Amino acid sequence: MEPVYAGVVSTARLLWLAQGLSFDISGVENVPVDGPGVVAFNHTGYLDFTFAGIPAFLQGRRYVRFMAKKEVFDNRFGGPIMRSLKHIPVDRDSGAQSYRDAVDYLKRGELVGVYPEATISRSFELKSFKSGAARMALESGAPIIPTIVWGAQRIWTKGHPRNLGRSGAKISVAVAEPIPPEGTPAELTARLWESMRATLTRVQDEYGEYPAGEFWVPAARGGGAPTLEEADAMDLADAEAKAARRAQRDAGENAD
């Protein structure tokens, strides 16, 4: 038992109760009772990682060490908590160390949580995957645990206000069958994407009715979210704007 992590879990449960959230959790039996696993989950909002760890906790009170951007660890409030929970900081400009840390955790029998999409999907459909999860699995010998979180985008997602009050939203978390670490990184990544795509479709089908035009509903289901192609174009524009700001800042520093 880890008292800090257990305390955070208890606090989260109280917050979820206050928010009136309901949960549909399936596939808990697909989480290993012991030993390593790469918990790969989709990225629809800022809080979906908190829900992605539920199946592991239900499966023998296991804890997931999530990979999160370094800026979260730099925060004077969040940083100490993230470090005490043994999560893994990711420096997007130099990710080699975070990758090594993740592999080391896996070799010690831990569960490591990773977003294969790397960034939030504004369409709420699966983006293309990076190969990091597959490479970690192959190097450590750990299976990949495909996990889908659905409904978290209703609480807090990119480009929309937070809804942390009593929303009564439904959160679905589904774990698919583990994928053994076999083949090339590209082949394993393709199997992971297909498993998560099929699980996401099933979870979306079972979720319930989708209000027309709502921001959190995918375009294919009559919602107001952008299509995957439109979302990719928005991400590209954001990346170009960020690069331009960085270049302007670097130019100013060099001038000084």
Query: pLDDT for 136-159, tens place per residue?
Result: 999 999 999 999 999 999 999 999
For residues 109 and 135, state if they share a domain.
Answer: yes
Does 69 have pLDDT greater than 90? no
Q: Beta strands 88-90 and 64-69: pairing type?
A: parallel
Predicted confidence at residue 246, as pLDDT, reads 86
Tokens linked to 220: 């294919």
For residues 129 and 236, state if they share a domain.
Answer: no
For residues 176 and 126, state if they share a domain.
Answer: yes
Predicted confidence at residue 158, as pLDDT, reads 95
Tokens linked to 34: 């012991």
Structural domains counted in the chain: 2
Q: How far is CA 166 from each of CA 11, 19, 54, 106, 227, rounded to the nearest angstrom?
A: 16, 4, 20, 37, 29
Mean pLDDT along residues 201-227: 97
Predicted confidence at residue 252, as pLDDT, reads 77
Rounded to 5 degrees, φ, ψ at 42 are -75, 165
For residues 239 and 177, state if they share a domain.
Answer: no
What is the rounded distance in angstroms from the CA atom of residue 88 to the CA atom of residue 143? Answer: 19
Tokens linked to 176: 């698919």
Predicted confidence at residue 173, as pLDDT, reads 98
For residues 134 and 168, state if they share a domain.
Answer: yes
Q: Beta strands 144-150 and 170-175: pairing type?
A: antiparallel
Share of the chain above pLDDT 70, in %: 98
Does 135 have pLDDT greater than 70? yes
From 31-45, 71-85, 136-150, 186-200, the region with the lowest mean pLDDT: 71-85
For residues 188 and 85, state if they share a domain.
Answer: yes
For residues 129 and 256, state if they share a domain.
Answer: no
For residues 157 and 255, state if they share a domain.
Answer: no
Domain that holds residue 251: 227-256
Predicted confidence at residue 256, as pLDDT, reads 62
For residues 168 and 43, state if they share a domain.
Answer: yes
For residues 107 and 127, state if they share a domain.
Answer: yes
For residues 214 and 243, state if they share a domain.
Answer: no
The residues, ordered by sequence, that sit 6+ positions from 201 with a Cβ below 8 Å of its Cβ are: none
For residues 94 and 137, state if they share a domain.
Answer: yes
From 38-47, 104-113, 244-253, the region with the lowest mean pLDDT: 244-253
- The structure's pTM equals 0.94
Tokens linked to 224: 């107001």
Does 231 have pLDDT greater than 90? yes
What average pLDDT does the structure give for the chain? 94
